[in-house]
Amino acid sequence: MVAEDTVFSVLYDKFMFWSILVGIFTFGWMFLAILRYREGVEPDTTHLDHIEVGAFPVDRHNTRLEVFFYVLPSLIVVWLIMMALASNTAAWTIPDEEDAQNMTIIGKQWFWEFHYEDPLTWEDDPRITGIDVTWADGFVLVNATGTEATNFSVDVAGNALDYPIDSATGLGAAANYSFSIRAFASVEVTNAEGEVIHTWMHIPGIDPNGNMFSFSSALGEDMIIPCDVDTVFTMHSQPSDDSNPNYIGVQHSFWLPEWGVKEDLVPGIEGGTVMTVEADDPGTFPIRCAEYCGAQHSLMYGQVMVVAKEGETCDTDSGVTKSGASPPAGGAY
């Protein structure tokens, strides 16, 4: 979802269309009247009634045209109001939490923390990378046939191991990988130069102890959200150092400039502030702080990666799903 896709951009285009249409009619009639009734043009007195300022010429006037001049502008104004109210409702309506991807964003001096309340499993689009990663029956299987992949690494709960990919078949496998859906896991496929060319990742959300899995922009970690799903951000401003109980943080503003949306993080609000987005374009987009928050305000930035959930794509219109893969079940697998 770049800015051209947002409800505000669509509303701007609609308002611009009607403004241009009304402007063409209004200025067209004005220039016509200027030319027709300019000084030096002799009026045709044989067909004109006496005009009295502030009154219609009662002998010759068009009631339908006069009513039209009042009714049409009124209808246009009502239509613009309806569009604005509908867009406002779409922007501020919070979706059902059961159907949404819920996250908590913490603004500190001077970095962002991204806490995942719900699990998320995603993978780079195999149609683009030509690589497919599958977890099944305690094995991690990598199909990289016809690509430049040479190795892959498997990281489960911080324990990473490397494995080779057969150069002849383009296949790789790692055994003894049965893990809980509530534990972090990732697979990175690399080429001979060590460049990551395909990623599979599972973000667990809340662990058995009630802690939310987190990423931090201070460590160069991106926020990751799924496409074609409402993502609800609950946002708080908190201090970096909790040693001073009287200090509750400073004002921040979470801004996605390419999406045309932002929301303030107000210190002291117990429930935080809320913002909802529904991304439809995969890619990596910048995050900025739009509220001056201190000496390193200019360094308070990050990135959001929009990805497709495992087994799905971002092609909402086509309904395409990745063949040969299934999303994780709700438990160990």
- Strands 101-108, 230-237: pairing is parallel
pLDDT at 111 over 90: yes
List the alpha helices (DSSP H) in the chain: 7-36, 63-92, 126-129
Lowest mean pLDDT among 84-93, 269-278, 295-304: 84-93
pLDDT, tens only, 230-289: 899 999 999 988 788 888 889 999 999 888 888 999 998 889 999 888 888 888 999 999
- Per-residue pLDDT at 290: 95
DSSP helix/strand/coil, 65 = helix
- DSSP string across 144-196: -TTS-EEEEEEEETTEEEEEE--TTT-EEEE------TTS-EEEEEEETT--E
Place of tokens 């529904």: 278
User: What was the pLDDT predicted at 154?
Assistant: 94
Residue tagged 């009154």 (tokens): 55
Q: How confident is the model at residue 130 (pLDDT cuts 50, 70, 90)?
A: very high
Q: Which amino acid is at 218?
A: A
CB 277 within 8 A of CB 290: no
For residue 76, what pLDDT is reported?
86
pLDDT of res. 223? 96
Rounded Cα distance, 153 and 183, in Å: 17
> If 0-12 CB within 10 Å is exposed, 13-18 middle and 19+ buried, where does residue 276 land?
middle
- Burial (CB count <10 Å: 0-12, 13-18, 19+), residue 277: buried
Let me know how long the chain is: 333
The residues with which 164 forms a beta bridge, in sequence order, are: 151
pLDDT at position 132 over 50 = yes
Is residue 163 within 8 A of residue 153, CB to CB? The reply is yes
Q: What is the DSSP letter of 38?
A: -
Whole-number pLDDT of residue 94: 67
Q: What percent of the chain has pLDDT over 90?
A: 44
| Token pair 């191991």: residue | 161
Among 257, 332, 313, 267, residue whose Cα is nearest residue 293 = 267
pLDDT value of residue 92: 65
Report pLDDT digits (tens) over 44-54: 666 555 556 66
| Structure-token match 């009630």, residue found | 210
- Residue 158 is predicted with a pLDDT of 83
Q: How many CA atoms lie within 13 A of 32 on its CB side?
A: 6
Give per-residue pLDDT as tens, 301-325.
999 999 999 888 887 543 333 333 3
Place 95 in a pLDDT band, splitting at 50, 70 and 90: low
What's the pLDDT at 328?
36
